[in-house]
Structures are given as structure tokens and as C-alpha cells.
Amino acid sequence: MSNNTLKAPVRLPADGASGARTNSRDTFKRILPKSYLVLVLISIIIIGYYVSEDFLTVRNAENVIAAASIVAVLAVGQFFVIVTGGIDLSVGSILAMSTVIVALTLQAGLGAGISVAVTLACCGFAGLINGLLVVWLRIPPFIATLAMMSAIKGFSYIIQSTSLIQIFNDTFIDLFSRGTSLGLRNPVMIFLVVAIVAALVAKFTTFGRSLYAIGGNPEAARLSGLPVHRNLLITYTLSGLLAGLAGLIAASQLRQGSSLIGMGYELDAIAAVVVGGASLMGGKGDPISAVIGVFVLATIINIMNLVGISSEPQLVIKGAVIIVAVFLSSAGGVQRISGFFSKQFGRRTAAVAK
Amino acid sequence: MSADDIRRGSDIEELRIEGLTKGYLGVQALKGVSFSVKRGSIHALAGQNGAGKSTLVKILSGAEIPDGGSIFLGGELMRFREPTDAQKAGIHTIYQELSLVPSLSVAENIFLGQLPTRGGTVVHWGEMQIQARAALARVGFDLDVRLPVSSFSVAEQQAIELAKALHKDARVLLLDEPTSTLPLPDVDRLFTVLRRLADQGVTLLYISHRMDELYSLCDAVTVLRDGITAADLKTADTKPADVVTAMVGKSLEGSIADAALRGERSPRLGAGRSEKVLMSAHELGEEGRVSNVSFDLFEGEVLGIAGLIGSGQSELAGLLAGARKRTAGVIKLDARGVVFKSPRDAIRRGIGLLPQDRKSQGFIPDMGVAGNITLASMSMFSRLGVINGKAERRAARDMVERLGMKVASVGQPMKTLSGGTQQKGILARWLVRSARLLICDEPTRGVDVGAKEDMYELIRDFAREGGTVIIASSEITEAMMCDRVLVMARGRVVAEFDHDDIDPQGQAILERFA
């Protein structure tokens, strides 16, 4: 292209002093909603430290993290689905199916490695079916995965045939709950690896970028030649696969497989993703925030357990926490509150000036 | 334009804006805008995209709170915290995208939020319908108010929206590009309605990019440039070129837009075609939209496909770019038959589409400028699926500079940019990919004069460097710039003109529209 396209150089806001001031305030405003989640988590931890002696101990921390690792793995898968503008309600059921299949295959005498492979393959396949329903049959994700949630739950119950199947395979139990690697318990290691890989994929790969594009504007993504269908299939498969992985952790922690495990986990995962600042409309958020969201919720539950609040009030408080957190992160609550305070503050200084 | 229109408006000042300022994320959108509007006049607001028009509209409609400055309505200082404040004061805004509820009846829409009731609980349908008809009569329309809004045309829906505002005792009406989605005959009708409202004492603030409209309808024009009032003109003693000059900040003499404004013979965008046929269509069709279209497209040519909105030119553009599915005919590229299953197939063969509706088809709103520019060429900036962020940003910065895009950084979310800059970003997407055929569907819709000029220059440069361009357009001036124009009506090609055979007013093309 020739030079005559060159127009006047890009004009930036001039006026040094005031420009710099607005910039720093803007940077603050931009970072605040992101870091607020960490602040929330830290304040919860501080509260926990004051209300319970047992809270800030290595043992308790290990328990919280081990319990949260299951939902954290689910939440990462859920995040990818949500960022495309979809939702996956079937992950709790897939998790249950995972525990049943791994228990069955171990019971049948297969080695831990093969059992795990078979289980993950089945769960990935279930996720693929979700994807096919959404992409090929064009069933809205909510409905497709709601139907799959029911179907998979029933399927797990049928194949399990007794109320639960116990797991005795030590290799498997070591691999997913008892064992350690690099000084960390394996489930913690697994969720850390999953979360970090997911964060890298979301931020630095063409796949991750295309998911944000699909969620942000599916038609623009299609017209730009992105493989929308293929990537949606991969995303739902991935969600199924991660639900299977979470199921493996659950199965080895509980040492059993049962279709009743993981009830309501899909909602916990969705809540965590949303608390982590993702929009259910798609195109926003990041996996690390989703994982932090898991820990915000898990820590609060843990503190309430330590203090001895019974489980029903816990549910009420958990609901309230979700609403407050989502208000602060996605509904622009931080800006609204800071706007309110700056206005009050501004008025007061104005009054003083008079 | 008649002298009567110009002398409209009383001497009473209805609206006065003083030193309005507003800044967003490091960009000062308004740096001190002041002007005043007479009661019962039609006052135009002009300016390039990014000049601050939309920010001003948002402030006047109460959607945004200004950082400084004041608004006086009927001499009284106004402070709007939210849109309902502005509406209560009597300022109503009618946006490009209408805000009616399609599934509700006309009457319900007009009364939305304040349905008349019997005894406070039961909706008084009869009363509502009578009043709704009366409100519509004020704008000169007679519609069956019991039917759902979705069963009416865009023009009728606009009338309903006007009636709704009037019913709520609007004193000032803000109209944001009301004609951008209207067919020509309806534009005239809308103008009649607007003049009638002005005669009734309603003050109208009219925003449009179309100079001819401003001058046939409005009494005065306030031009914004870079967040300040650049000029306050009376339409009676100025001409469109004055507005354009004030908008751009320099004289446009000799430019493409200037020629179009003056009604001179349009300059050519194309650089002269080769004899090689790049693409050809044979009896191409899409059920109910496009039928039996055949043509050859030569390499290096700028081919126009002109027609009134809804004549099939947009659909044809979509078919050629693989965005729509054809139901009949053959497309050949480089003399070989091709089947585009998706836009992806077309993109791979070097075709890029500039879609008609930027917002819903063009860009990813929350994604940065760089991400949007490289959206169709991520593979060029990645290895084994991992994006090379540095290379990507460098390419994006090059494009930003080359196309003169006004952005604070290449990470700035696309949704925060002006329409013209967004359009350039989408064009950049195909330039980065080195597309050889650019299919532009209404490339300058909702884009101001300055950015329009830039777009034409960019298209011209693209053609000069050997690229081929198809422009689907409902704007006659745009069609007249092409090397060759196919005129479409009701989904068929009804005429073909060479650039040199088109008269300066484009009558030849207009006569085949219908």
C-alpha cells in the first residue's frame, strides 16, 4: 500500500499532568476488579485465622486444598465451556460416572493405568456427545447438558448395579490421593498442573484465543474463518475429560465408585467460575480466577465447619457469598462502590473548600 | 430545501450546553462542548466518529454523567443521574437500534411502563388504544395499534418510537442516525413528520452523517471535532462543504467525498483491470434471496453491486465470501469451480469479507485491537498453536499506523473504539492476511465523512497494489466510484454499467433501482 494512506499520526490525549493522573486512576480501576478476588480470599483467610485456632494449620490447609482440588478441576473445564458462551451441567454426572467406571474396571482386575485410561476415554466421549448435541443438533448447551446430566446419571447407576463399589487398588489410591510428588499431595499437584496449563492455553494459544472470540461474537469468529464447530467439540470433550479426572480424584479419596458421588458439583463449579469473574454470556474471564473462585467458596465452607455452623445455614451463607462476589466482579460493583465513595468524598472536600 | 424550512424555530432558547467535558480510560472524549438550540428548531449535530457525538448523546440522555460543564433545559440547570431523569425532564433519545419490544402490541409499547388502568390494577385496553392512535396521529401515522410491533416496517417502528416519546411529553428529541436503516421513500416521510413536530414546538437534535439530509432538514448545525465545538453554522447561509471542512479540520477540496458531495463525476477507485478473470459466477442463486446471477470479475477491478437495501446485493456478497450457502449455480475462482462450505474455505483462497453489520458480525467486543486484527491470521503469528505475542502486536501496530487508526494501544478493547476505527480494524484483518479479493458489504455504513474518505483511499490503494474488490452498496455515490456496477433489484442483476457510462448524478443507476 502506498504512502498516501498515511494519515496524521495517532493522536493521544495530550496535556501531560492531568493525563498522567487519569491514567494512574484508570490503571487502578482496571486492576482492582481482577485483584479484588485475591483480596477477598486473603480477607477470608484472615477472618478464619481469628475465628478458629485450627484454621491456619498445615493439616487444615491440606484438607481444604484436597477437597477443593476436585471442584477446581471441574471449574477449569467449566470455564472453557462458559467462555465460549455455553454451559456444562453434566459434569457432576460425568464425575460420578468416572468413579463408577474406574471402580468397575479395577474390580474386574485391570491395572490402574488401563483403568484410568478407559475411564478418561469414556468421560471424554460423554463430553464429545455434549459437543455434538450443541454443534450438530444445535440444541442450546443448557438443555443438551441438562439432558446428558440425567442420562449419564442413569447410565452410571445401571452399570454400577450395586449401591457402591469399593476400591482396593493401592497404585490407584496412591496415584490420585495418598501419594505425593515434589512434596505436594498428588491431587493438589494434579489441579495445579491443570490450572496452570489451562491458564497458558487460554492466554497464549490460538485455541484459547478462538474460544474467547467464539464467546465474544460467534458470527464474527465464523466470518473470520475460525474453526468454530471443531473448537466447540474440543471444548465440551475437554470438559468431560476434566470431569473424569476430577472423578478419579474423588474415587480414590473415597475409595469407592458410586453414581451418587458429585451431586450438585456442576453448580459449585459454575458458581466458582462466575465468582471468578467470567460472564455467562461468554468471552470473559480466565481459568486462574475460576480456581481462586473455588477456593473462596471452599475456604468459607471450611471456616463455617470449624466454627460449627450446621450445614443448612452454610448453604444460605454460601448463596449470599456467591451473590456478593458476582456483584463485585461482573456487575461492576467495585466501580459502583468506589464511584459512590469518591462522590461522597468529593462532596465533602467541595463543602470544606466552600 | 425551501426557505420556509430554514426559518423554522422560535427565538426562545430551549437547550443550552456549556463547557461539557467527559473522559474515559485515558481518552478525553469531550473537552468542552458548548452550543445552544432554539425551541422548535431542528438542530443537527455533525462530527466524525470519535469526535464526541455519541458521548454527548449519552450525557444528554442521562446514560453517562459528565465530568464537568452544565446542561440547561428551558433555562433551568439539569443534573441527570440516569436515563429516567432525562426523560422526566423531557429529553428523549431515539437510537439507531430501536428500543421497542417486538412481541408486544403497538399500544403496549407506546404505554410501556405506564399502562392506563381501571382502578389501578386492570389494564384499560380501550383507553390505551384510543390514546395510542392519537399519539400516532401526531406523527401522521395510522396503524392498527393492536398488532405486535414486529409486524411493522422499520419506518413504521420509528414512527411508533416517536409517538412513544411524544406521549411521554418529550420537549427535546435526540435522533441518532434515524435514516441509516431506512429506504429512501421512508426518509422523506420521516422528514415530513419531523418538520411537523418542530412546528408543534418540539425541539429536535438530529445526528446524521449524510450532508444532504442535514441541509434539507435542519436549521442549524453544530460541528464537533476532537471533543470541542468546531463550528456553529446556520444552514441558510452555509453549504455542506463548510460542515465537512469543519469536521475534518481541513479543506477537502479534490477529495473523493468532496466530489461525491458536489455531485461531480466520481473518481475511480480501481486502478485498471487486467484481462484475467479472477472469479466468475454462473447462474448463482440462494433460495428467496438471490437468483440467476452471472458475471466475471477481473483481477485488479473494483466491482460495485448496487441496489436498494434488501435487493440481494448483501446476500450475493455473502455467497461469494462463503458466509452464506448457495442453492444454485457455480462459483469459479481462477477458472476452477469452488465450493465454499464456510467462510474458512473462502478465506483460505484469499477472500476477505468486510461484513455489513460491524457490531454483530465484525469484531469481538472485549478482545483487544491486536487480537481482532490477527483474528483471521492467527496461524501466521503462532507456532504449534502458541501465539507469538510480540510479532502479533508488532503487526497490529504497523496496521494501526498504516490505516491511521485512533487507538490508545493495541490492547485497547475493540468495543471502545469509534465506528470508523473499528471498520479499519476489520479491514486490517484482511490486509494482514494479504487477501487478494476483498468483498465489502456496505463498507462505509455508519462511518463519518473523514473515515469514509480513508476507507475509499484504502480500498483504492488495495486495488492499486493488484488486489480485487467487490463493493456491495445501497449508496449511489459509492457505486459510482466502482469500475463497473451491477445493479440488483429483487435478487436479480437488472443492469450493468461501466464507470464511464454513468452520468454525474447516477440517474442511470437510480432508474434501475426499484
Task: Confirm whether B264 is domain-assigned.
Answer: no
* Contact (CB<8Å) B363/A217: yes
> What would the mean pLDDT of B252-276 be, rounded to a whole number?
65
**pLDDT band per the 50, 70, 90 thresholds, residue B125:** confident
Q: Which residues form the domain of B221?
A: 1-90+172-194+203-251
Tell me, yes or no, whether B51 and B176 share the same domain. yes
Question: How confident is the model at residue B349, as a pLDDT?
Answer: 92
| Residue (of A125, A83, A76, A45) closest to A215 by Cα position | A83
- Residues of chain A contacting residue B376, judged by C-beta atoms under 8 Å apart: 224-226
pTM: 0.74
Question: How confident is the model at residue A8, as a pLDDT?
Answer: 39
Question: How confident is the model at residue B264, as a pLDDT?
Answer: 55
Task: Confirm whether A43 is domain-assigned.
Answer: no
Task: Confirm whether A336 is domain-assigned.
Answer: no
Task: Confirm whether B270 is domain-assigned.
Answer: no
A211 versus A315: the higher-pLDDT residue is: A211
Tell me, yes or no, whether B210 and B348 share the same domain. no
Tell me, yes or no, whether B147 and B106 share the same domain. yes
Question: How confident is the model at residue B6, as a pLDDT?
Answer: 45
Task: Confirm whether B272 is domain-assigned.
Answer: no
* Contact (CB<8Å) A283/B367: yes
- Residues of chain A contacting residue B358, judged by C-beta atoms under 8 Å apart: none
Domains of chain A: total = 1
Q: Strand B27-38: give its sheet, edge to edge.
A: B76-78, B68-73, B13-24, B27-38, B228-234, B220-225, B42-47, B203-207, B172-176, B91-94
* Contact (CB<8Å) B23/A210: no
* Contact (CB<8Å) B386/A219: no
Is it the case that residue B105 has pLDDT exceeding 60?
Answer: yes
Tell me, yes or no, whether B363 and B304 share the same domain. yes
Answer for the pair A171, A106: CB distance below 8 angstroms, yes or no.
no
**pLDDT band per the 50, 70, 90 thresholds, residue A142:** very high
Task: Confirm whether A342 is domain-assigned.
Answer: no
CA distance A217 to A212: 9
Task: Confirm whether B181 is domain-assigned.
Answer: yes
Q: How far is A199 from chain B (nearest CA, A)?
A: 13
Query: In sequence order, what DSSP letters do the residues of B55-101 get, joined into one string?
Result: HHHHHHTTSS--SEEEEEETTEEE--SSHHHHHHHTEEEE-SS----
Question: How confident is the model at residue B174, as a pLDDT?
Answer: 92
Task: Confirm whether B327 is domain-assigned.
Answer: yes
CA of A281: which chain B residue's CA is closest?
A: B366
Residue type for position B460: R
* Contact (CB<8Å) A22/B23: yes
What are the phi and psi torsion angles at B445 (to 5°)?
-65, 135
A interface with B, Cβ–Cβ below 8 Å: 1-2, 4-13, 15, 19, 22-23, 26, 30, 204-207, 209-210, 212-213, 216-217, 219-227, 283-284
Task: Confirm whether A67 is domain-assigned.
Answer: yes
CA distance B482 to A230: 39
Task: Confirm whether B287 is domain-assigned.
Answer: yes
* Contact (CB<8Å) A226/B344: yes
Is it the case that residue A13 has pLDDT exceeding 50?
Answer: no
Tell me, yes or no, whether B86 and B107 share the same domain. no
CA distance B371 to B387: 10
Is it the case that residue B49 has pLDDT exceeding 90?
Answer: no
Task: Confirm whether A323 is domain-assigned.
Answer: yes
| Residue (of B265, B323, B330, B325) closest to B296 by Cα position | B330
Residue type for position A319: G
Q: Which residues form the domain of A77?
A: 50-329
* Interface TM-score (ipTM) > 0.85: no
Tell me, yes or no, whether B79 and B135 share the same domain. no
**pLDDT band per the 50, 70, 90 thresholds, residue A24:** low
CA distance B245 to B211: 12
Task: Confirm whether B501 is domain-assigned.
Answer: yes
Domains of chain B: total = 3
CATH number of residue B1's parent domain: 3.40.50.300
Q: Please, how many CA atoms are within 13 Å of residue B224, restricted to the half-sphere of its CB? A: 32
**CA B222-B179-B144 angle, 5° bins:** 130
Question: How confident is the model at residue A161, as a pLDDT?
Answer: 83
CATH number of residue A210's parent domain: 1.10.3470
Count how many residues are written for chain B: 514
Residue type for position B95: Y
Query: CB neighbours of A336 closer than 8 A, spacing ≥ 6?
Result: none
